[in-house]
């Protein structure tokens, strides 16, 4: 009896282990069979009763499965170390530089992390981070240290290596970037990842020590984000000042949008046949109170990174339709306005509702609005949410421009999948068109493609009268660029429209003398 009791206490201990380790339940049939073999029918019954009882007791005592707390200094999502880990590794590497070995810090940030989290949800985003961390850990050399920083950023401290120079560090950064930019498969969806990378070699940071080297690499990554997606930048002395300027601009952007400093400017589009205005493209400018008029390149990346794309879209759409309404009331013939939306907005299923509300607010029909879609957005891959948003906008009656048409695979696929009304010829094909026969043949081929598909055409970036004339001869129907007019605020655009229209005069009749 004593032996049987000891056996039962052993079974009880093992059963409680099942409660703490649910994955061990796979062995439950074998355990019950062993109980019957060793203790007979009584042991079998005891085991069958003990397992549920152990789970009940474990639940009462709080032993039921719960997330395992991360060890101190370990990220619970990726299992990697944290910031202090890479700083310590860099301090150790820097202290041993007397033997001629050099080190560097590389910081990698996933592009569009906020969009990934919104699009796929928190759990899937954590899985993306975990698998990204695993990829990095598997791609570095022995002795390199990989940690996770805040958000969707990772840092790598390179183990000291003789002869490590900027070229070698850039090659390592590019290798890590390539490792991350392989599509991830999550359940039944494929996630395309892009990463921006910053790096700093030892001795080039403004502050000595591991913390200073890491901070410099972060500044370089911020600079890469501004030139991204998928850019790589090495730290330079002037980056810190530019990073501070960008941080200041980001702080000012929210109030600037609310107070009307961020404004809609307008660049005319005219017919190559009649020279009449056929539309106005809306372009963003920031009239900064201290820095003057800022172009989009100076603030747009920071604005998008700050999550203000939707707010900017509201300002630009409202400004464009308000101007069109005023031109109608003043008797100016401006058929359409073109508005550019950020990729994040084009994936917003509520965008068509907002567009309809703004059109109704100003008493305009949807065919007066043109939505500009950059080819680069479509080239990011088959995005069903974007496609559905564009289809709903087209069903609403808005017109769709495919911007920066290059004739490549992305262009052809976009023409098949999206409701495009007009093709825009990229500036790289338009500039210098007058003196380049090869470029003229390329543009002629693109225009022929548009004609076969019964699509309208617009050439952007027209800077000389000669390029304008060649485009008209080739059959491009609309042109836009500095040769016609630069982007200007609404008041100046109103004056330009009146002057331009008056200068055209009534259309000539066949046989009538020229003015």
Is the domain of 204 the same as that of 271? Answer: no
* φ, ψ dihedrals at 474, nearest 5°: -75, -15
User: Do 105 and 17 reside in the same domain of the chain?
Assistant: no
**Do the beta carbons of residue 229 and residue 112 sit within 8 Å?**
yes
Same domain, residue pair 305 and 440: yes
In a domain, residue 208? The reply is yes
Q: Does any domain span residue 512?
A: no
- Establish if 251 belongs to a structural domain: no
Residue 330 within a domain: yes
Find the domain containing 386 and state its range. Answer: 263-500
The predicted pLDDT at position 487 comes to: 94
- pLDDT for res 21: 43
Q: What is the pLDDT of residue 444?
A: 93
231 shares its domain with 299: no
Which CATH number fits the domain that encloses residue 222? 3.30.70.270
Q: What burial letters (b/e) apply to 90-114, b meaning 16+ CB within 10 Å? A: beebbeeeeeeebbbbbbbbbbbbb
If asked whether residues 52 and 102 sit together in one domain, one would say no
CATH number for the domain spanning 300: value is: 3.20.20.450
Q: Does residue 250 fall inside a structural domain?
A: no
Residue 94's pLDDT is what?
83
| 95 lies in the same domain as 155 | yes
Q: Is residue 420 part of a domain?
A: yes
Number of helical H runs and strand E runs in the chain: 19, 18
Q: Are residues 392 and 267 part of one domain?
A: yes
Do 494 and 396 lie in a common domain? yes
The answer to whether residue 145 sits within a structural domain is yes
Please give the Cα distance from 465 to 481 (Å, whole number). 10
> Looking at the structure, do residues 34 and 88 belong to the same domain, yes or no?
no
Residue 36 has a pLDDT of 61
Q: What is the pLDDT of residue 379?
A: 52
Find all residues with CB under 8 Å of 118, minimum gap 6, and list them. Answer: none
Overall pTM > 0.75 = no
Q: What is the pLDDT of residue 185?
A: 81
- What pLDDT, on the 0 to 100 scale, is given for residue 1? 38
Helices 210-226, 239-258: inter-axial angle, 10-degree rounding: 50
Domain end point (choices 201, 219, 237): 237
Do 183 and 330 share a structural domain? no
67 is a domain residue:
no
Number of folded domains that form the chain: 3
Q: Do 11 and 129 belong to one domain?
A: no
The whole-number mean pLDDT for each consecutive block of 10 residues of the chain, a chain of 515 residues, reads: 39 41 50 63 60 48 36 78 88 72 88 77 87 91 89 90 85 90 78 87 83 89 77 81 64 81 94 94 90 83 73 92 96 95 80 94 96 69 72 93 62 71 89 88 91 92 92 94 94 95 61 38
- Domain co-membership, 39 together with 96: no
What pLDDT does 512 receive? Answer: 37
């Amino acid at each position: 009896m004593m032996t049987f009791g000891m056996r039962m206490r052993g079974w009880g201990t093992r059963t409680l282990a099942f409660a703490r380790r649910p994955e061990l339940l796979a062995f439950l049939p074998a355990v019950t069979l062993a109980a019957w073999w060793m203790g007979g029918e009584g042991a079998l019954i005891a085991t069958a009763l003990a397992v549920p009882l152990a789970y009940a007791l474990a639940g009462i005592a709080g032993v039921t499965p719960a997330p395992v707390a991360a060890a101190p200094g370990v990220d619970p999502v990726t299992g990697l170390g944290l910031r202090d880990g890479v700083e310590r590794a860099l301090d150790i590497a820097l202290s041993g530089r007397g033997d001629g070995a050099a080190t560097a810090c590389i910081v990698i940030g996933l592009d569009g992390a906020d969009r990934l989290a919104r699009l796929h949800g928190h759990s899937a985003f954590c899985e993306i981070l975990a698998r990204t961390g695993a990829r990095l850990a598997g791609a570095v050399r022995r002795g390199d240290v990989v940690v996770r920083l805040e958000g969707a950023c990772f840092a790598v401290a390179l183990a000291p290596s003789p002869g490590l120079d900027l070229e070698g560090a850039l090659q390592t950064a590019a290798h890590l970037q390539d490792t991350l930019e392989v599509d991830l498969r999550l359940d039944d969806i494929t996630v395309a990842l892009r990463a921006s990378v910053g790096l700093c070699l030892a001795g080039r940071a403004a502050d000595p020590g591991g913390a200073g080297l890491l901070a410099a690499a972060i500044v370089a990554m911020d600079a890469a984000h501004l030139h991204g997606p998928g850019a790589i930048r090495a730290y330079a002395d002037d980056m810190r000042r530019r990073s501070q300027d960008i941080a200041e601009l980001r702080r000012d952007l929210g109030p600037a949008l609310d107070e009307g400093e961020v404004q809609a400017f307008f660049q005319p589009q005219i017919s190559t046949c009649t020279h009449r205005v056929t539309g106005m493209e809306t372009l963003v400018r920031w009239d900064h109170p201290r820095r003057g008029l800022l172009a989009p390149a100076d603030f747009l990346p920071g604005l998008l990174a700050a999550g203000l794309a939707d707010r900017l879209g509201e300002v630009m759409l409202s400004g464009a339709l308000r101007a069109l309404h005023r031109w109608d009331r003043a008797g100016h013939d401006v058929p359409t306005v073109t508005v550019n939306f950020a990729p994040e907005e084009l994936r917003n299923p509520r965008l068509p509702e907002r567009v309809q509300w703004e059109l109704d607010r100003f008493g305009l029909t949807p065919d007066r609005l043109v939505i500009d879609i950059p080819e680069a957005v479509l080239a990011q891959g088959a995005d069903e949410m974007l496609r559905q948003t564009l289809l709903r906008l087209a069903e609403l009656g808005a017109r769709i421009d495919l911007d920066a048409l290059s004739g490549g695979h992305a262009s052809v696929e976009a023409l098949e999948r999206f409701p495009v009304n007009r093709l825009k010829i990229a500036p790289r094909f338009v500039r210098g068109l007058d003196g380049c026969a090869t470029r003229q043949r390329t543009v002629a081929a693109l225009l022929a493609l548009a004609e076969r598909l019964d699509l309208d055409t617009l050439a952007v970036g027209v800077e000389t009268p000669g390029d304008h004339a060649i485009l008209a001869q080739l059959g491009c129907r609309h042109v836009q660029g500095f040769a016609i007019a630069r982007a200007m605020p609404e008041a100046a655009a109103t004056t330009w429209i009146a002057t331009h229209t008056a200068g055209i005069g009534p259309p000539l009749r066949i046989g009538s003398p020229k003015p």
